[in-house]
A and B are shown apart, each in its own frame.
Chain A
Amino acid sequence: MILAFERPAIDWHAVAPEIVLLSVGVLITLLDILFLEKARPYMAALSGLGILATAIPLLTLGIDGTERVLFDGAYVVDNFSLVLKAIFLLAGYVVILLSTNYIVDGDYWESEYYGLLLASLMGMIMMASSRDLISIFVALELLSIPAYLMVAWRKRDPKSNEAGLKYYLMGVFASAVMLYGMSLLFGVSGTTVLSEIADSIEAGNGSSSVMTLGIVFVIAGFAFKVSAVPFHTWAPDVYEGAPTPVTAFLSVASKAAGFVALLALIFVGFYELSNIWEPLIWILAALSMTVGNLVALRQTNVVRLMAYSGVAQTGFMIAPLAVAGHSLTTGDQALSAIITYLAIYAAMNLGAFAVIITLARRTGSAEIDSFAGAFHFAPGLTVAMTIFLFSLAGIPPLGGWFAKFEVFRVLATSGEAWGYLLAVVAAINSVIALFYYANIARKMWAEEPSENDLKNVEITPSLVSALAICVLVTLLFGIFPQLVARFTEVSLLAFAT
C-alpha cells in the first residue's frame, strides 16, 4: 500500500506575510545573480519596500482579527503573533535604513547582506507564530544562521571575524543544549506541539524529573539568545566586532525573537509548572539586571556599553515572567508587559544605535570620549540621543518609562514577597543604569569637543528617516502609552487552560 502524501490544508491568508517576505528575499537573490553589479544600488530600497509590502497582509490579518490555527496547532496566527510580527518588520525596516550607507561606504557585499537580513527576518516572523518544538527550532536556526554571517561581514577586520566565530560557536552550543532539552520534553510527553505538551503535563507527566531537566535546558538555551546573565558573555564581543547596524539588529530583533519563543514555550507549554520556571527566571532576571548594569558602569566603548545595558534591559524584560505563574490574570499582564517592553525597547535602542552609527561616521570611533561635546557639532543628534538614553533609563515622559512601569506593575500585582523583592532590585537597578546613560548625555552636552574642527556631522537621508521614526515612536509611546498598550493586550493563556 502506498501512502500518498496529502498536503495539509493551508490558510493562504494566514501565511501571506511569510510568502511575500520570502518572495522578496528570493527576488533579491535572483536579481543579484542576473544583474550582478548593476542591481546593487537598488537592493536596499528593494528590501525596504519588501518589508513594507509584507506589512500589508499583516494589516489585513489584523483587521480580520480571527485566530487561525495551522498544521495541527504547530503554527498559529493570533493577535500575539501579529503584534510581534509588526515589531519585527518595523525593526527590520529601521535596520535597513541604518545599513544603507554603512554597507555602501564599507564596500561590503550589499546584495547578499540584504538577502541574509531578510532571511533572518523571515525566521523571526515564523518564530512569532510557532507553537511547536520543531517549528520553533527551525525558526530559531533560520534567524540565527544568517546572523552568524552578518556579524562577520567586515571581512578584513579581525575583530569582526572573531565576533562571527564567537557568535557562531556560542549560538550552536546554545542550540545544542536547547535541542537536548526539547528531546527530553518529547520523550516524556510524546508530542512536539506545545499545547499538547501542556495537556500531558496536566495529565500528570509534569512531576517527572526528566521534564524538569528538559524545561531547564530549553530555558537556558533561550537565555543565551536573549543574553541573560550568566549566558551573556558572547554579547559584548559580538556587539563590538559586528558591523554596527548588525549589532542594532541583534540587540533588538534577535533578542525579541528569543523572547517570543520563551513566551510561547512558557505560556503555552509549561504554564502549569510555574514552580520550576519561576525561580529560574527570578534568578536570571535579578542577575541580568545587576551584573549587566554594574559591568556597564566600567565601559569606555559605547557599543560595549550598549551591550551590557542590553543585558540589563533583558533582566527588566524577563522579570515579569518571574511572577507570571501567580494567576492567569497576572500571566496575561506579564505577557503584555513583556511585549510592550519589546516594542518600546526596539524603538529606543535602534534610535540610540542610529545616533551611534552617525556620530561614529564622523569621529571614526565608538569610544565614549569621542562623543564629548557633540552638542557643539551635532546639536540635533545630541538631542535625539538624549531622548533615547533617558528613555532607556525610564524617565517620563519618554517611552521607556511606560515599559518599566509595566514591569513594576506586574511585579506588584502578584502580591508575593518575591515579586516585591524583585521590584526593589529593579528599582535600585534603574538608578544604576541612569548613572551610565546620564554620563553619556552629560559628556555630549557639557564637555568641550576634543577635536578642533567643528564641522557638522553629515547625516544621510536614510539615517534621518530612521531617527525620525525612532524619536517619534519613543515620544508618542511615552506620552500616550495607550497607543502601544491597546495592541499589546494579548493573551496566550487560552491555550493553557
Chain B
Amino acid sequence: MDNLLDSWGLTVATFSPLVGALVMFLIPKEKEYEHKIIALVTSLWVAFVGFMLLIWFDLDATEKLQYVVDKSWIDAIHSRYVVGLDGISLPLLLLTVLIVPLCIVYSWNHFPDPKNPKTFLILILVLETGMIGTFVAQDMVLFFVFFEVVLLPMFFMIAVWGGPNRKYASLKFFLYTLFGSALMLVSFLSLFFLTGAESFVFSEIADNVVAHTVSRTAQLWIFGGMFLGFGIKVPMFPFHTWLPDAHTEAPTVGSVILAAVLLKLGTYGFVRIAIPLLPDAAVEWAPWIGLLAVIGIIYGAFCCLAQTDMKRLIAFSSVAHMGFVMLGISTLTDFGINAAIMGMVAHGLITGMLFFLAGSMKERYHTLEIKRLGGLLVQAPKMGWILGFCAMASLGLPGLAGFWGEFPAILSAYNPANGLPVETFRTFMVIAALGTVLAAGYLLWLLQRSAFGTPKEEFAEDPNIYDTTKTEWIAWAPLLALILAIGIYPNLVFRATDAAVDASLTPCLTIDADKSTHEEIESAHCSEVYGLSDHGPDDHTASKG
C-alpha cells in the first residue's frame, strides 16, 4: 500500500477525474442519473486517495517532497513529469479534493440552466485535474500546463451556465488570466535559460539561481512577469476587476470552486515558485506587493460597503481577504507565509461556503438584491444561522478559521524579513488592521440586512422560501465543521506548513542579524539586498554586551 501510494498516489489523484470525464463523455447525455453517479464516485475516489495521501504523509518531514515521481516527459525541452507533495501543497490539495465532491452533491438536483448535467460535470472533473495537478507539479512546464488547464472548463462554466452578463464576464476572466500567464511563461523560460539549468524542475532551477548569479535586473524583470501572472490570478489590486464579474455571473458551483481553489493558484505560485526561486528580487518587490495588498484590503472593503448585490459583495470581500494573504506573503517571513497559507485555506472554506449560501438564497428568492432580502432568520432559521456563522468566520472572529488567516498576517507585518523597510510594513500593518474593522462592518451589515428583521412583503408568504434541505446539509456540514475545527485548533494546518515554509525561504531572509554570529551570516552568502552587511563583528559583540 505504502509503495503503491508512493509511486502512484499523486498521479492517480491527478488523473482519475480525467478518466471519469472520459467515461462520461462516452455515455449519452440522456442518462443523467448515471452521469451524476459517475461524477460523484470519481470525486469521492479522488477524495479517498487524497485522504490516504494525508494518512501516509510523513508529518515530521513536511519540508521534504513526498510521493515524488520523476519520469521523462518532453525530453526535447528538458521538461520532466515531476510531481511531489510537501507541507505547502498538502492543505491546498486536501481543500481541492474536499470541495469538488461537495460541489457535485450540491448541484445534484439543481443544475443551473441550461441543465445538461453531463457537460457540466465533465467540466468540473476536468477542472479538478487541473487544480490538483497545479498543486503537485514540481516542474515549471508541467505547472504551467496544469495552471492553464483550469482556464477552459471555468470559461465554459461561466459562459454557458452563468448569469445574464455571462458572455462579457467569461471572456474577461479568460483574457485577463491568459495575459498574465503568457508573460509568466516568458519569465519561466528566461529564468531557465539564464540559469543554464538542466531541467525545469523547481529544485534544480533554485540551485542554479544560487550558483549562477543571474543579473539583478534580469531577476527583477523575471519576477515582474511572474508577479503579473500570479497577481492577476490572486487577484491583486489593480488586476482584480475580472473577479467580481466572474463571480457574479458564474453558477453557484463555479463561484465556489473559483473562490475556494482557483484564487489559491495565484498565491500558491508566489509561495511555491516566485519567492523561493528569486529571493533577491522578491525582497525588492515585496514593499510594492505589500502596498498593493493593503490597497486591496481597504479598497475591497469599501467596495463591499457599496454593493447592492449579495454575491458581488462576497466577491469583493475576496479581494480584501486575498489582500491579507498577499500581505502575509509580502513580509517574506516564515510567520507571514504560514499565515498566508492558513488564510488561503480559511478563505477557501469560508468564502466557498458563503457562495453556496448565496446560491441557495438566489434559488429561493430569485434575487440577491440586498435591499429586497431580509428576515431570513424568520423564514429559514437554520440557513440564517449558517449565514451568521460564516459571516462571523469571514470577519475573523477568534475561534473560527478566518481569524488564523488574518491575525497572524497582520502581526507578521510588524517584523518583516531582512532587507525590507520595517517602517513601511508597520504602516501596512496598521492599515490592514483598520481593514478588519471595515470587514466586520460590511459583513455585519450584510447579515443585518439579509437575515435580521422581518421578511419583505413580496416574500413574506412565499412558500418557496424553505429551510436548508438535506443535500445542502450534506454539502455544507463538512465545510462548517472544518471552519470550526481549524478555528479551535489551527495547528491542523500549521503543523503541515510550518517546516515546509521555513525550508522554502532562503536563510538570508530569516536569519536574525542580532542573534547570529558573524560567521553564520557570512556562511549564508547573502547579497546586499538583505541589509546584513552592516552587522560587522564589532556590531555583533556590541549587541551581545
Contact = CB atoms under 8 A, between A and B. Distances in A.
A427 interface: yes
A412 interface: yes
Given A395-B148, A397-B149, A442 B171 contact: yes
Contacts of A442: 159, 167, 170-171
B175 A435 contact: yes
B193 A412 contact: yes
A401 B170 contact: no
A381 B43 CA distance: 28
Contacts of B155: 438
Given A445-B159, A481-B76, A427 B171 contact: no
Interface stretch (A1-9, A347-355, A403-411): A403-411
Interface string B50-73: 000000000000000000000011
A403 B321 CA distance: 38
A445 B156 contact: yes
B389 to A, nearest CB: 36
B144 interface: yes
B144 A428 contact: no
Interface string B174-191: 110011001101100110
Contacts of A345: none
B141 interface: yes
A485 B189 CA distance: 17
B193 A427 contact: no
A485 B178 contact: no
A349 B101 CA distance: 37
B190 A485 contact: no
A423 interface: yes
A267 B185 CA distance: 28
A432 B178 CA distance: 10
A438 B174 contact: yes
Interface string A420-450: 1001100110110011001100100110000
A435 B171 contact: yes
Interface size class of B (residues with CB under 8 A): 35 or more
A428 B190 CA distance: 17
Interface string B120-134: 000000000000000
Given A336-B76, A415-B193, A405 B141 contact: yes
B492 interface: no
A77 B190 CA distance: 35
B170 to A, nearest CB: 7
A482 B148 contact: no
Nearest to A448: B114
Given A434-B174, A446-B159, A396 B149 contact: yes
A202 interface: no
A390 interface: yes
Contact of B179 (A409, A413, A428, A446): A428
B194 A396 contact: no
Contacts of A390: 152
Contacts of A379: 29
A369 interface: no
B179 A431 contact: yes
B422 interface: no
A420 B186 contact: yes
Nearest to B147: A396
B74 A412 contact: no
Given A401-B145, A438-B171, A442-B170, A485 B193 contact: no
A449 B366 CA distance: 26
Nearest to A481: B74
A8 B394 CA distance: 84
A393 to B, nearest CB: 8
A427 B189 CA distance: 12
Contact of B182 (A415, A428, A481): A428
Nearest to B221: A420
B160 A485 contact: no
A489 B75 CA distance: 11
A486 interface: yes
Interface in A312-366: 336
Interface residues of A, number: 37
Contacts of A406: 77
A472 to B, nearest CB: 14
A412 B186 contact: yes
A480 B72 CA distance: 10
B482 interface: no
B264 interface: no
Contact of B167 (A396, A397, A446, A481): A446
Secondary structure dominating the interface of A: helix
A80 B148 CA distance: 32
B245 to A, nearest CB: 15
A481 B80 CA distance: 11
Contact of B186 (A397, A402, A424, A438): A424
A412 B155 CA distance: 30
A145 to B, nearest CB: 37
B208 to A, nearest CB: 15
A396 B174 contact: no
Contacts of B145: 396-397, 401
B197 interface: no
Nearest to B145: A396
A431 B186 contact: no
A446 B249 CA distance: 13
Interface in B164-220: 166-167, 170-171, 174-175, 178-179, 182-183, 185-186, 189-190, 192-194
A446 B151 CA distance: 17
A423 B74 contact: no
Given A405-B141, A423-B186, A442-B159, A430 B178 contact: yes
Instruction: Name which of A395, A415, A489 has the most chain B CB atoms within 10 A of its CB.
Output: A395
B277 to A, nearest CB: 16
A401 B171 contact: no
A435 B72 CA distance: 34
A29 to B, nearest CB: 42
Nearest to A429: B182
A482 B190 CA distance: 21
A483 to B, nearest CB: 9
Contacts of B178: 395, 430-431, 434
B76 A427 contact: no
B144 A396 contact: yes
A434 B145 CA distance: 16
A405 B185 contact: yes
Nearest to A478: B145
A423 to B, nearest CB: 5
A427 B182 contact: yes
Contacts of A375: 160
A482 B76 contact: yes
Contacts of A423: 186, 189-190
A80 to B, nearest CB: 16
Contacts of A420: 186, 190
Nearest to B151: A395
Contacts of B74: 402, 480-482, 485
A482 B75 CA distance: 6
Contacts of B166: 446
Contact of B183 (A396, A415, A424, A485): A424
A379 B146 CA distance: 25
B77 A412 contact: no
A412 B178 CA distance: 19
Contacts of A486: 75-76
A402 B76 CA distance: 11
Contacts of A395: 148, 151-152, 178
Contacts of A446: 159-160, 166-167, 170
A445 B76 contact: no
User: Would you list the 3 A-B pairs with minimal beta carbon distance, nearest first?
Assistant: A485-B76, A427-B182, A396-B145
7 contacts: A375-B160, A408-B189, A415-B193, A423-B189, A427-B179, A446-B167, A489-B76
Given A405-B141, A442-B159, A486-B76, 17 more contacts: A396-B146, A396-B148, A396-B149, A397-B145, A405-B185, A409-B189, A427-B185, A428-B182, A430-B178, A431-B175, A438-B155, A442-B171, A445-B160, A446-B166, A480-B74, A482-B72, A482-B75
